[in-house]
Amino acid sequence: MTLSRAPFGSTGHESSRVIFGAAALAVMKPERAHGLLDLLLEHGVNHIDTAAGYGESEVVLAPWLRAHPGRFFLATKTRERSGDAARRGLEKSLERLGVDSVDLIQLHNLVDEDDWQAAHAPGGAVEALAKARDEGLVRHLGVTGHGTFAPAMHLRSLERFPFASVLTPCSHTMLADPEYASDFAKLVDTCAERGVAVQTIKSVARRRWTDEDARKFSWYEPLLDPDAIRRAVHFVLSRPGLFLNTSSDARILPLILDAAQETVEAPSADAIAADVARYAMEPLFVRGESDSI
């Protein structure tokens, strides 16, 4: 049994609804990474999301991509906001990945107002990456964001440029905030109308690490219980059209993939409330308090 697939917006690609978040490869030894990547083939994952800022993930992916040509929709990201820097960053990513082009280049965490203005300005990253698209170095452009302002800023970005995809946090703790939930719903509706793919992150987050925690693998603490992970995964995948990007904590990748292969049913409000209480779950982002990673 393999993962279900859905149109990735208007790109023409049918992507697995679980997308591999290659931040998990950032500091992983190549031999372990290749075993992890083989797991993607077993489960039918056909979409990889990496970034120039994810340590050595692009380099680790390169030989594996050569061994499986054409099997994956390949996305990467840039944090650059100026046109020249974004172009150089894209070219470096292509070199590191060992490919002539990528399917998607995303402006990473484009939420800050000054960054947004710079990226969209004449000579900015959006203009330069659109030119790179016209030259065949990338097929599509997207935008990503963290924090509570991401959905609203993505809506602004979509008014300025026809991005193919957006990426934003989605979990039951985040959507418990009415303001964030309203912005998220508006973004999802707009994307459905315009054929824009919606990727979600942080679905299996438990909370931020505390000073007493022994931190591992990810900047936030994920859920580890298989049943709680299943409910968190189903919370996202029960919503038509949404894609779920996997955690940077590779320990739970098999649990996420197994949960996604089951018959997806939206968890009840009581089950969600029980998980929140049992695992002391908290939203990763709270407006005015913790809106950055």
Per-residue pLDDT tens digits for 175-210: 999 999 999 999 999 999 999 999 999 999 999 998
- % residues pLDDT > 70 (the chain): 99
pLDDT category at 292 given cuts 50, 70, 90 is: confident
Q: Is the pLDDT of residue 214 over 80?
A: no
Q: Is the pLDDT of residue 27 over 90?
A: no
CA-CA distances (angstroms) from residue 99 to 8, 90, 126, 220, 267?
21, 11, 21, 32, 41
The residue type at 166: V
Q: Please give the structure tokens belonging to residue 135.
A: 């030259």
pLDDT category at 34 given cuts 50, 70, 90 is: confident
CA dist 166 and 187 (Å) reads 9
Residue 35 has what pLDDT?
Answer: 86
Its pTM stands at 0.96
Residue 288 has what pLDDT?
Answer: 86
Per 3-state DSSP, what percentage of the chain is helix, strand, and coil (rounded to 5)?
40, 20, 40
Q: Is the pLDDT of residue 212 over 90?
A: no
Q: Within 10 Å of residue 84's Cβ, how many Cβ atoms?
A: 12
R_g over Cα of the chain:
18
Q: Is the pLDDT of residue 97 over 80?
A: yes
- According to DSSP, residue 252 is labeled G
Which whole number is the average pLDDT over 155-179?
97
CA dist 107 and 105 (Å) reads 7
Residue 282 has what pLDDT?
Answer: 96
The domain at 13-278 falls in which architecture?
Alpha-Beta Barrel (3.20)
Q: Is the pLDDT of residue 1 over 70?
A: no
Which whole number is the average pLDDT over 59-76?
95
Residue 2 has what pLDDT?
Answer: 80
Q: Is the pLDDT of residue 45 over 90?
A: yes
CA-CA distances (angstroms) from residue 192 to 12, 79, 170, 238?
15, 26, 16, 16
Residue 46 has what pLDDT?
Answer: 97
Q: Is the pLDDT of residue 217 over 80?
A: no
Q: How high does pLDDT run on average in the chain?
A: 95
CA dist 82 and 87 (Å) reads 9
